[in-house]
Structure 1
Amino acid sequence: MNFNTILEEILIKRSQQKKKTSPLNYKERLFVLTKSVLTYYEGRAEKKYRKGFIDISKIKCVEIVKNDDGVIPCQNKYPFQVVHDANTLYIFAPSPQSRDRWVKKLKEEIKNNNNIMIKYHPKFWADGSYQCCRQTEKLAPGCEKYNLFESSKCSSDSVVVMSEGYIPSNYVTGKKSNNLDQYEWYCRNTNRSKAEQLLRTEDKEGGFMVRDSSQPGLYTVSLYTKFGGEGSSGFRHYHIKETATSPKKYYLAEKHAFGSIPEIIEYHKHNAAGLVTRLRYPVSTKGKNAPTTAGFSYEKWEINPSELTFMRELGSGLFGVVRLGKWRAQYKVAIKAIREGAMCEEDFIEEAKVMMKLTHPKLVQLYGVCTQQKPIYIVTEFMERGCLLNFLRQRQGHFSRDMLLSMCQDVCEGMEYLERNSFIHRDLAARNCLVNEAGVVKVSDFGMARYVLDDQYTSSSGAKFPVKWCPPEVFNYSRFSSKSDVWSFGVLMWEVFTEGRMPFEKNTNYEVVTMVTRGHRLHRPKLASKYLYEVMLRCWQEKPEGRPSFEDLLRTIDELVECEETFGR
């Protein structure tokens, strides 16, 4: 090592896959970092041949690579990435300490570069797409915020690069949610109702989680106790508060303030200090997600049917039988076998490529299709609790109003994403939403109504046509838009707050068309407040331009949820 060398170590380099079809390989290289260049050599230090180099001034991002599935096809198991020009170099270190050392030193050397990325891709580019967001262009914008002054979070001795030096990462303020994602107890985008469902399901004394508060930028600790405390619910929700002093500190109990949220949690794991019980057992939504499945097989959207295992039947829908299955005997998925003549297959297969790119926590993820045989299969995310309509009907009388409102909020979030991406559902109803193990509701079968070949379902004169969920411009002129989806969402809200009743249950489709055209609307459900019913009525304005957007609806529902959390049930 010469005097200019900052770091030198034998690491493993992955081929850069500059073309989507390029084969992958992994080769040992001697990496040498200096102030001006990162160079890699073939062979040992005493006899080495330079294979490539990266100008330090051209590096845009250095960060660890998240690897949820844990499959690393070489002996070094700790990957990090160096993004430069139009390429990403993936390097594999032999230990977390080695990886931290390289990431820290590289970040220090690039901190004055003027081309640092705002966002990056936290997972690998593989099989022609990024495994984090499934974007299929090498130059696609990143999907997660990149913080140059935040260290890798993979080991206990990680450090954070700061302009004035280095400090242990556990002392960095946990104010931003990005800093909390590494912790098992942090549940992003979980509201009060969902938190209580998760804590009740675990049913463990001192079960807790940290979640986003209804007030943007703040956090709440939700805590469950089986013994003692006021009231019978067993749930307590504590806002994490900030001191007025500088530097800011955070606390649950005013006498015990700390510089970061992780420090608060660590303290209260051992001391109740004013809480109803200690924080004994972290409850999490992490680690329960379905696999990252883009690029399963032949093409980005094509799945090899030999990799699917068929299990029990879940039910049947418009297109055929739906079964629980497993992909590669490991990940649970739902598999729809498409009945011959049930759908326009060619059009759907072409559209599947677009639909797979629609990725949101409140949409049931389409993973891919099997088109190499008949019947074709559609493979999607598996939702443990099934259809929302049945979920409501089977548990009538057991929902609080805020749980019902939370269901509507979930659906609205998914629909706002579809609206933002100019995608129309066309058949939004409780029967076309599914519920997962944690009680999260997700929108399913978006856009699928276009491919139905059943005349009764596609014609407004047909007995199966969902007239009771449709606005006048749809049953009169078949004019679909995001605003027609808004009307359907109003009906779905009505379904939720009646716990699964049929809209206009005593009327035929023909009668409903006449009633709606004359201005008749569904009555206010007993469980819906006057203000909530006004939201439904806004969805049912006769002219599409008079209806709110899903963005407006989501803002309104978020305000209602916030009132619920602020003032109690």
Structure 2
Amino acid sequence: MSEEVLLEERLIKRSQQKKRTSPQNYKERLFVLTRSRLTYYDGKAEKKFRRGWIELSRIRCVEIVKNGGGIIPCQNKYPFQVVYDAYTLYVFAPSHDSRSLWVQSLKEEIKDNSVILAKFHPQFWQEGAWLCCRQAEKQALGCEEYNLFGDISRKPLPPIPGEERKNEKQRRPAPPLPQAGTDDDEDGGGDEEEEEMVVVALYSFTATEPHDLSLVKGGEYVILDQSDVNWFKAQNQYGEEGYIPSNYVTEKESGNLEQFVWYNKQVNRNKAEELLRKEDKEGAFIVRDSSAAGTYTVSLYTKCAAGEGHSAIKHYHIKETQSSPPLFYLAEKHVFSSVPDLIDYHKHNAAGLVARLRYPVSKQDKSAPSTAGFSYDKWEINPTELTFMKEVGSGQFGLVRLGKWRAQHKVAIKAIREGAMYEEDFIEEAKVMMKLSHPKLVQLYGVCSHQRPIYIVTEFMELGCLLNFLRQRRGSFSVGSLLSICLDVCEGMEHLEANGFIHRDLAARNCLVNDSLVVKVSDFGMARYVLDDQYTSSSGAKFPVKWSPPEVFNFCRYSSKSDVWSYGVLMWEVFSEGRMPFEQNMNHEVVTMVTSGHRLYRPKLASPAIYDIMQLCWHERQDERPAFSQLCMMISDSLEVDAPPSN
């Protein structure tokens, strides 16, 4: 006899397996609550396509998730969490009332559980950290007291008499935690697992170590283990297994656009226009992320724009209907069940656009992204495998040379001058820094630590430091190009912030530019290892006072918010095309000026709106400075003005 159904509704769940979050991680499921289980199905419940379930006796906490104004890349905007065993299931309801009903109903069913948490995390676990308290350990103790009765989005209810947990010791013991290896079971319950994950290779990869697996672009692979965010264990069609770089593959499923050549994930409006002008073909197009997460824009190039007399680029926002599931369209008369179907139709019919979508333009063919190290769990590099080439610069720690690893991979090699840094501390930290892999961070590949001088081996950036790049090309930048530079840096810093990593010396001189004009943040965290009083003491001549907020030059208190202040100064450097901040003033004068409320003037190329963003970074109170995630949205909004379809 089947159990009584208490609640039943189509909700959206976020995958627990995947370490990165994107719109493809969110799946609509039919959730069913009974007295003993929370179950979710793919399709209709009567068809029994059960994807997962959780025994209610294992649940430790049910509560809403305070999103803090962040972006939710799915149509349901009201998240709640179900914490059970060592896992957290995030579920997204379509309305406040729906969420409240689920939270209250679940709380009522679990109120007698012996495993209830005393404290919980009110915000998301995302990209390696709790957003509420910035703890980087997933099983870290909660940071807010958990109320077993009531929904924290409403006024808390008083405790039910007699339900206070006086008799905690008399309750049944907690069930054992799942055994090692059950992370692969997405639902964490029963013996029915989520379907196996199949990925498509976006780039070819040649295995460098016996435990790696080579990839062929376009090939399909089954993922066996995702416990390392940067290197997945995979199996190819011949049954061979090994590690592959996670940023070289994308999940094969109908809703995932990354498998299509026309989709460009990491391209903003300005870069899309650069790529399309370079292609210079009628009907060349790109599909890219819009400034609002989970939505897309088609950027289309035409040589014969009506009334303009020259080439033009139009940006069309892909709209969605209010139906469930939603339909997609560029022109209201032509709606489609998926974005690929929409693109395929407009390849053959302009239907309101300035041209047909004839030539997909992709940045994927240009160059593969950097990997977190050359191989899985490899951070120590044999110096005999390095070829030293020309000298390309010198930094705080010593000379930097262009080189090659195993005569194949171009790298930058920094030889650390004796006495320049705390070497042992840095070598230990290098293992952590290598795992910080992002398209807008200069990748650390490894170190040669078994001889002196030690070498730091990083990604090679062909056009050198951003400061020189700005100065050498002064007068040639559009406002869009300068904003695009700022967005690149901001995205890199957002990743550091999300991982609880502080740069401490963010400035244009510590960002680098590659031959695709992508700007990446370099030398993050390195300031901690400098052995130079002139640099480390705020009274020293080399101390970056002009980039530092009052809490740093007065008390040496570093945080992500001090990085935000420095980022505001970097924006000023970009929009002044490489000028020195406070160029007429000595360091001690800058300390007095900033402490008394003086700020840098507005550069000529910066609009009042852009200057407002800089000034937000320079609030004296740290809690009034925006987070990098908020800054990214502000700058994206400044870059992005989507055009409506032509009639």
TM-score, scaled to structure 1: 0.69
Is residue 62 from structure 1 mapped to residue 182 from structure 2 by the alignment?
A: no
User: What is the aligned partner in structure 2 of residue 333 from structure 1?
Assistant: 411
User: What is the aligned partner in structure 2 of residue 81 from structure 1?
Assistant: 222
* Structure 1 contact 214–565 (Cα < 8 Å) conserved: no
Is residue 218 from structure 1 mapped to residue 295 from structure 2 by the alignment?
A: yes
CA distance in 2, matches of 1:491, 1:395: 20
Question: Offset at 1:346?
Answer: 1.4
Q: What is the aligned length?
A: 445
Q: Could you report, residue by residue, the CA deviation over 1:396-423 in whole angstroms, capped at 9, with x for unpaired residues? A: 2222223322222222222222122221
Query: Alignment partner for residue 415 of structure 1, among 493, 511, 517?
Result: 493
User: What is the aligned partner in structure 2 of residue 506 from structure 1?
Assistant: 584
271-280 vs 332-341, which moves further: 271-280
Q: Cα–Cα, structure 1 residues 274 and 311, in superposed 2: closer, same or farther, change >3 Å?
A: farther
Question: Offset at 1:390?
Answer: 1.8
Please list, as runs of the form range in 1=range in 2, the aligned pairs for 1:538-549 lying within 5 A after superposition: 538-549=616-627
The letter of the residue matching 1:81 is: V
TM-score, scaled to structure 2: 0.61
Question: Offset at 1:307?
Answer: 2.8
CA distance in 2, matches of 1:86, 1:479: 34
Please list, as runs of the form range in 1=range in 2, the aligned pairs for 1:270-289 lying within 5 A after superposition: 270-287=348-365, 288-289=367-368
Question: Offset at 1:503?
Answer: 0.3
User: What is the aligned partner in structure 1 of residue 371 from structure 2?
Assistant: 292
Q: Could you report, residue by residue, the CA deviation over 1:325-349 in whole angstroms, capped at 9, with x for unpaired residues? A: 3333333322222223322221111
Question: Offset at 1:280?
Answer: 3.3
Question: Offset at 1:386?
Answer: 2.4
Question: Offset at 1:85?
Answer: 13
Question: Offset at 1:273?
Answer: 4.6
Is residue 206 from structure 1 mapped to residue 340 from structure 2 by the alignment?
A: no
Q: Could you report, residue by residue, the CA deviation over 1:432-488 in whole angstroms, capped at 9, with x for unpaired residues? A: 112233333221110011112232222222222211101122222222111211111
CA distance in 2, matches of 1:461, 1:446: 22
User: What is the aligned partner in structure 2 of residue 93 from structure 1?
Assistant: 237
Q: Cα–Cα, structure 1 residues 279 and 334, in superposed 2: closer, same or farther, change >3 Å?
A: farther
Give percent identity, aligned residues only: 63
The letter of the residue matching 1:93 is: Q
Please list, as runs of the form range in 1=range in 2, the aligned pairs for 1:146-161 lying within 5 A after superposition: 152=252
CA distance in 2, matches of 1:246, 1:194: 34
* Structure 2 contact 379–446 (Cα < 8 Å) conserved: yes
Please list, as runs of the form range in 1=range in 2, the aligned pairs for 1:43-54 lying within 5 A after superposition: none
* Structure 2 contact 466–511 (Cα < 8 Å) conserved: yes
* Secondary structure in structure 1 of the residue aligned to 2:270: helix
CA distance in 2, matches of 1:417, 1:267: 37
CA distance in 1, matches of 2:421, 2:497: 24
Is residue 302 from structure 1 mapped to residue 446 from structure 2 by the alignment?
A: no
Please list, as runs of the form range in 1=range in 2, the aligned pairs for 1:119-518 lying within 5 A after superposition: 126=243, 131-132=245-246, 152=252, 172=254, 176=255, 179-226=256-303, 229-231=306-308, 232=310, 234-242=312-320, 249-254=327-332, 256-287=334-365, 288-294=367-373, 296=375, 300-518=378-596
CA distance in 2, matches of 1:70, 1:86: 20
* Structure 1 contact 490–540 (Cα < 8 Å) conserved: yes
500-509 vs 56-65, which moves further: 56-65
Q: Cα–Cα, structure 1 residues 233 and 399, in superposed 2: closer, same or farther, change >3 Å?
A: farther
358-367 vs 58-67, which moves further: 58-67
Q: Which runs of 4+ in 1 moved over 6 A?
A: 72-79, 84-89, 244-247
User: What is the aligned partner in structure 2 of residue 23 from structure 1?
Assistant: none
RMSD (Å), alpha carbons: 3.6
* Structure 1 contact 212–220 (Cα < 8 Å) conserved: yes
* Structure 2 contact 234–242 (Cα < 8 Å) conserved: no
* Secondary structure in structure 1 of the residue aligned to 2:414: strand
* Structure 1 contact 291–331 (Cα < 8 Å) conserved: no
Question: Offset at 1:529?
Answer: 2.3
CA distance in 2, matches of 1:203, 1:485: 40
223-232 vs 181-190, which moves further: 223-232
The letter of the residue matching 2:246 is: C
* Secondary structure in structure 2 of the residue aligned to 1:393: helix
Please list, as runs of the form range in 1=range in 2, the aligned pairs for 1:554-565 lying within 5 A after superposition: 554-562=632-640, 564-565=641-642
| Structure 2: stretches of 5+ with no match in the other structure | 1-183
The letter of the residue matching 2:494 is: E
| Structure 1: stretches of 5+ with no match in the other structure | 1-53, 100-122, 135-142, 147-151, 154-171
* Secondary structure in structure 2 of the residue aligned to 1:181: helix
